[in-house]
Amino acid sequence: MTVFARILRFLFWLFVISWGMRLVRRIVGRVLLNASAARSPDPNAAASGATQTAHSARRLVRDPVCGMHVDETLSIPFRDEGELLHFCSPACRDRYALNTRKFAANG
């Protein structure tokens, strides 16, 4: 029975230590995030995309052909009649361009 009690005690302390480390990691992360936000001179600069931190949200755009959401920085841009469209792949971009030519030809 003492072996079983030692195993349980070991597992209990392992759980307590891992929980404590997770708590410390969260606290340190928040402190560092607040410190980096305090150093930023203009809070609107991060929103405008001029300076992005590791924790800033990325803008997703929707592919008009397949409907897939893609990160704007990874998308394939295409300008059509002054409108900027974003595509997930060259195949979707080509399919869109082909369809718009068909619509323009038909009229």
Per-residue pLDDT of the chain in tens (107 residues, 90 and over written 9): 799 999 999 999 999 999 999 999 999 988 888 877 777 665 555 455 545 555 566 889 999 899 899 998 989 999 888 889 999 999 999 999 888 776 566 55
**In 3D, which of 87, 106, 104, 105 has the Cα closest to residue 95?**
87
Contact 76, 82 (CB under 8 A): no
d(CA 74, CA 62): 12
Terminal-to-terminal C-alpha distance of the chain? 86
Q: How many other CB atoms are found less than 10 A from the CB of residue 25?
A: 10
**What per-residue confidence (pLDDT) applies to 44?**
54
**What per-residue confidence (pLDDT) applies to 101?**
72
Q: Does domain 60-106 have CATH number 2.60.40?
A: no
**What per-residue confidence (pLDDT) applies to 9?**
95
**What per-residue confidence (pLDDT) applies to 41?**
60
